[in-house]
Structure 1
Amino acid sequence: LAESGIPYALLRNGWYTENYLASAPPALEHGVFIGAAGEGKIASATRADYAAAAARVISGDGHAGNVYELAGDHAWTLSELAAELSKQSGKNVTYQNMSEADFAAALKGVGLPAGLADMLADSDVGASKGGLFDDSHTLSKLI
């Protein structure tokens, strides 16, 4: 990119909050939210927030050559997500941490393609090791 001479900015979006929406209905139905993230913190943000940052960078000055690592300001765990689902729904939902292999198998068992299931399970394990945590507030500073 630098050699092209074309001005650029890179926005590296972190994890999307919407990644968990598909899991909410079965968690509410069965009373359990499954994953393999342990108590890893997830600093997700919405697609709308990532889009707002992109619009700001595209329409503003001073961004050429910058690389932005983007994430939400408030990190949370899957246990906290399960508690919030309980609070919002009035139904008891707990978080069940699983091994990567068991989580991937569960995802495949409900019809996710193998590649996607494996990627999601790997991402959860990455979250347990801090891979989805960010406290830089870069996203909120841009928007």
Structure 2
Amino acid sequence: HRADVILPGAAYTEKNATWINTEGRVQLGRRAVFPPGQAREDWTILRALSGVLGKTLPYNDLAGIRAAMEEDAPHFAMTDVVAPADEMPSLSEGNLDAAPFESPVKDFYMTNPVARASAVMAECAAGRAAAARIQAAE
């Protein structure tokens, strides 16, 4: 109810995709099921939107996007390989922060819009937070 536009993106299980995990490994995801209804892979939504805006992206398929990614950032060609940071083209310049990785998620159960819109989930989250404060005080 807060959104002006909702783009029908497919869930990660409903699309072929590319990810980089926290250790720097490029991973390919494979579609497990087809998206329901009007849902589409993200790149197809952005490609269609670019055409409507008069700035059509030069990609017609996933292979074209992946080729462009590999051209801009060659480490995308190293699927499922862990390479030292000094061997990674995009990481060899500049300094990496020495801070440890920490999850930005404070309450996993409230990380999606359906749960955040639920009065019952808000009650549960408040109860869980209160229990954590009590446990920390003990």
Hey, which of these two has a bigger chunk of strand by percent?
1
When normalised by structure 2's length, the TM-score is 0.26
When normalised by structure 1's length, the TM-score is 0.25
Return the index of the structure with the highest Cα Rg: 2
Which has the higher relative contact order, 1 or 2, with Cα contacts under 8 A spaced 6 or more apart?
1
Hey, which of these two has a bigger chunk of helix by percent?
1
